[in-house]
Amino acid sequence: MATTKIWDVHGRIDHVINYVLNHDKTENEGFAETATEGETLQALTGYVTQVDKIKQPFFVTGLNCLPETAVQEMKLTQKQYHKEGGIIAYHGYQSFAPGEVTAEQAHEIGVKLAKELWGDRFEVIIATHQDREHLHNHFVLNAISFKDGLRYYDCNATYDLMRETSDRLCKAYQLSVIEDPQTGRRPSYKAYLDKESGKPIWHDLIIKDIDAVMAESVTLRQFFFRMRQKGYQFKPNAKYFTLRPPGKERFVRIDRKYPEYSLEKIEARIYAQEKIKRHQPEPSITHKKMKLQGNYQKVKKTGGLRGLYLHYCYRLGVFEKRKNKKRDTAHLNFVYREDIRKLEQITDETIFLCHHKMDSLEALQAFKASNQEKIKTQCIARKKLRNQLRTVKDEPQRSELLNQAAELSVQIKKLRKEVRLCESIEERAVSLREKMKAAEAEAEKSKNEKEVKHIEH
């Protein structure tokens, strides 16, 4: 069954187009084996415009633009009508059930869908990705029409039209469709990208906790008791099932996005369970005695920013106690589990701090200011080289100037990345301390409750 979604895109249009045009995901594996020499040459020079006539090396098609120059063409359209800000594009998505279609059929359906919905007014890129069990089409739609300069208006009516058109095309190809589609909020674009890259979304963490607690609960009252043990809070006498995860400021109504997790359905699933899992309490901390050689008092401890980041990485489970042990985030506090999706960035910041041995915000800010000065100096030097290129006609000399400018560009890129890391560390350092304090307070509170009340009634 085919599902569809569409989101608005802000910022840079080349990022979303580069993501969609990934050759590893769109490659036609059978092209090189079956294509003739003439077809190969024609495909490599203009495969996007002749999708119905020739075979394609990649499942990529451009409507009213070429994939190789789509970024420039879409920007030119926006510039022509003086509409370069705000929403710059729309990213659409059409997914098919696993094993239901071939890549050729999926791409053909995607092209027909784009032609019917946007082909007469907008520049569109269609790409079929094969990196998952379910084949899916991506659409990148320029927000500004090349025909009249009007913006594409994304609303419930246009989305309903997209879904209805997709269902009609799928039925024509004898594919299954969702007979009773759910209506409501669409997931955010960031949530979709996080899910595609395998990063956990905080809603998914809540669902995982609910499923685990349901499996070990006998009554609804016991379900609430176990959830409170995990740090969740509930609104008393609320009309709907709302909860607040630990570390979050607001309550969230979970059944708005996941109707199968309403309070009535949770209660029904608890009573319908044939086998109840035995409740296993959180693992207790055991203290082990170890014999160490040398004087422990003379060991220099890592403190400041480095110590903060290293300790936080330990809390996230980055440093394993044993080799080849899979990281288990099930027993992590919710505050820490949410940051697993930011683990790559936190790791980069930790490596940066340890490499430069920075322990204070003052040292970090001085390093950032120094890099910013270097960037200014190197940008001026690069601009002088580019000005010289306008007057130099000698090819060896031009090549030397180009190499120097390229080296400066690499250095500037590295310095800018370090400046961004410094800014990110400045913002994150405060929140890390607050999260660790909140987690410790919850752990202390849970410990006190267990000491006061040993038996659950």
DSSP structure class, residue 218: S
Closest to 270 measured CA to CA, from 212, 206, 218: 218
Query: Against a cut of 0.85, is the pTM above it?
Result: no
* pLDDT score recorded for residue 47: 37
**Torsion of Cα atoms, 228 then 346 then 309 then 299, to 10°:** 130
Confidence of residue 40 (pLDDT cuts 50, 70, 90): very low
* pLDDT score recorded for residue 353: 85
Top-confidence residue, 64 or 97: 64
The residues, ordered by sequence, that sit 6+ positions from 122 with a Cβ below 8 Å of its Cβ are 63, 64, 141, 142, 145, 146, 152
Closest to 429 measured CA to CA, from 373, 361, 371, 378: 361
Confidence of residue 161 (pLDDT cuts 50, 70, 90): very high
* pLDDT score recorded for residue 284: 61
What length does the chain have? 457
Helix axes 304-316, 343-356, angle to 10 degrees: 150
CATH 3.30.930.30 fits 3-196, yes or no: yes
Closest to 109 measured CA to CA, from 187, 41, 174, 13: 174
Confidence of residue 52 (pLDDT cuts 50, 70, 90): very low
Least confident of 150-159, 282-291, 362-371: 282-291
Average pLDDT over residues 141-158: 91
Top-confidence residue, 383 or 188: 383
Question: Which tens digit of pLDDT belongs to each residue from 345-354?
Answer: 788 888 888 8
**Ranges of each domain in the chain:** 3-196, 202-272, 342-450
Top-confidence residue, 412 or 311: 412
Average pLDDT over residues 368-379: 92
Confidence of residue 26 (pLDDT cuts 50, 70, 90): confident
